């Protein structure tokens, strides 16, 4: 198996992968209805996991704890293994403080899920999509959560493993002239930790 971790970042740093497998993201016909973009984004991540020769699972539940039920949008397993090597969350970002807080919540969920999996994931991916020109995601706040950890609602101390890579990915959409449809214009990845 090739270095899937490097391939993940390479493939999600340009739009060739999504153009090949998800043309609706690029043809100007995608409408922002209900959770369609979320479903497509989760499908992109699962398809990438399969392309990287991993078993990709939708709504991958973390082992139970006395805390909340946590399900990552996608969990990737090396074939034959019972613990994920990668967890992904895909979320809309609208440029507001509320949107920023939602991303921070999703990052905390990834970190807690990884800890429940005894830090087996080698990569955690927080992936956001946004449309049009909005305030950029404050990645410094995300990095602070990664570096400092946090205390969960149940009082458990949650921290990132020193061997886990944490990546922030963005799907940047443009609105059509009619404002009804979206076109994926750019993908970008940034390492948070």
How far apart (Å, rounded) are the C-alpha atoms in residues 10 and 156? 35
pLDDT of residue 19: 96
How far apart (Å, rounded) are the C-alpha atoms in residues 150 and 148? 7
Cβ atoms 113, 70 nearer than 8 A = yes
Tens-digit pLDDT profile for residues 83-104: 999 999 999 999 999 999 999 9
Q: Which residues of the chain have pLDDT under 50?
A: 1
The SS3 call for residue 146 is: helix
pLDDT of residue 67: 63
pLDDT of residue 50: 96
Provide the whole-model pTM. 0.95
Tens-digit pLDDT profile for residues 136-169: 999 999 999 999 999 998 888 999 999 999 999 9
List the structure tokens of 124.
């955690």
CATH class of the domain comprising 4-191: alpha beta
Contacts of 20 (CB under 8 A, 6+ apart): none
């Amino acid at each position: 198996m090739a270095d899937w971790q490097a391939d993940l970042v390479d493939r999600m740093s340009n739009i060739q992968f999504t153009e090949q497998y998800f043309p609706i993201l690029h043809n100007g016909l995608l409408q922002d209805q209900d959770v369609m973009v979320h479903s497509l984004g989760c499908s992109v991540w699962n398809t990438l996991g399969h392309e990287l020769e991993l078993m990709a699972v939708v709504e991958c539940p973390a082992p139970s704890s006395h805390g909340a039920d946590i399900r990552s949008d996608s969990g990737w397993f090396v074939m034959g293994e019972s613990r994920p090597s990668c967890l992904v969350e895909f979320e809309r970002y609208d440029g507001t403080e509320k949107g920023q807080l939602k991303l921070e919540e999703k990052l905390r969920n990834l970190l807690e899920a990884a800890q429940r999996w005894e830090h087996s994931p080698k990569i955690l991916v927080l992936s956001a999509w946004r449309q049009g020109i909005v305030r950029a995601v404050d990645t410094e706040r995300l990095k602070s959560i990664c570096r400092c950890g946090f205390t969960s609602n149940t009082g458990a101390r949650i921290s990132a493993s020193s061997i886990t890579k944490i990546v922030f990915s963005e799907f940047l959409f443009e609105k059509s002239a009619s404002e009804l449809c979206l076109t994926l214009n750019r993908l970008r990845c940034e390492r948070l930790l």
